[in-house]
Amino acid sequence: VSALLSAQWLAELEALRKRLRFDIRSRGGGNHLSKRKGASAEFLEHRAYAEGDDLRRLDWAVFARTGEPSIKLFRAEEDTCMRIFLDTSASLQFGTPPKFEVGRRIAAGIGYIALASSERAQVLSGADALAPMTSAARGRGGIARFMRELEGLSLKGRGDLSRCLQSARKAAHEKSVFVVLSDFFDAGPVLDALSALSGEGHTVVALQLLAHEEAHPTLHGDYTLVDSESGDELALTIDDESIDDYRRRLAALFANLQNVVRRTRGVALQVVGDASPPEVALRVLSTERHAVTARAPEHERVR
């Protein structure tokens, strides 16, 4: 299917796909019954005939029994649209393997599950601004295009996640599941942007991609830290106290993410190190709050 997904992962994703339940509806035609009225074979209710109604929908049996013309209404069928946003700022290059590669694989896994379930999936990306996007792919027939678009992504430079999310919200005219893959190391109003998505009825799944040394820093001593995204330097004396402080801030950031996405019936997860797409999908389904961790091999630890 794609170089991003191995055969083993595909088999595991197929099994997981059957457990997916999408409550969010996009108002587009699909396989899921909707609360809205529509043209499916599922009866919903009767109402009195009004001038202009389609006579083909008149329930003749009711009319014969009551003498009052009644129109037969049916439920609509809708699908689910997965909008998968992958942060392409340069900071995603950090880690072993790079967080960008991990994120791309997870996006491929989630997209595959959606498309194989005859839903729609759309690739969104951006660093400092939302990148041009194509329409959402649909069904198994759209898997190839979806994967090509993912494989074509590359890292750009400095990032502005909140701006990207705001642009994505404006471009989304129908409710969807918004999957955001990023490290969320952004000083901008990212939480506000996520709240805005919630306000418009989107379900948000926030996956925070972290390198192992970001989740568990072991530095000790005097360092000049160089920001991999901006190149900014920061002279710092790192001791046990400052490590604890860093951990508190990281935990607070994640807790805020959880609070925001919880209002959207979504889920926030930390993906540390090299996590496989099936693992992450399983975590999303089980809605467990704690992070999915994949222990990095010894030789891959950052010095």
Using an 8 Å Cβ cutoff, are 33 and 40 in contact? yes
Residues of this chain that interact with another protein (CB under 8 A) are 91, 94-95, 99, 183, 185-187, 211, 213-214, 218-219, 221-229, 232-239, 242, 245-246, 249-250, 253, 301-303
What is the smallest separation between the CB atom of 301 and another protein, expressed in angstroms?
7
The smaller minimum CB distance to another protein, of residues 27 and 216, is found at 216
What is the smallest separation between the CB atom of 214 and another protein, expressed in angstroms?
5
The smaller minimum CB distance to another protein, of residues 108 and 253, is found at 253
DSSP string, 28-91: SEEEEEEEEEEEEEEEEEEEE--TT--GGGB-HHHHHHHSS-EEEEEEEEE--EEEEEEE-BGG
What is the smallest separation between the CB atom of 125 and another protein, expressed in angstroms?
18
The smaller minimum CB distance to another protein, of residues 148 and 248, is found at 248
The smaller minimum CB distance to another protein, of residues 75 and 99, is found at 99
| Cis previous bond, 189, omega within 30 | no
The smaller minimum CB distance to another protein, of residues 115 and 181, is found at 181
What is the smallest separation between the CB atom of 128 and another protein, expressed in angstroms?
15
What is the smallest separation between the CB atom of 99 and another protein, expressed in angstroms?
7
Question: How many other C-beta atoms lie within 10 A of the C-beta of residue 10?
Answer: 17
CA distances from 202 to 3, 42, 65, 162, 217 (A): 30, 26, 45, 16, 34
What is the smallest separation between the CB atom of 241 and another protein, expressed in angstroms?
8
Which helix (H) or strand (E) covers residue 137, if one does?
Answer: strand 137-138
The smaller minimum CB distance to another protein, of residues 11 and 251, is found at 251
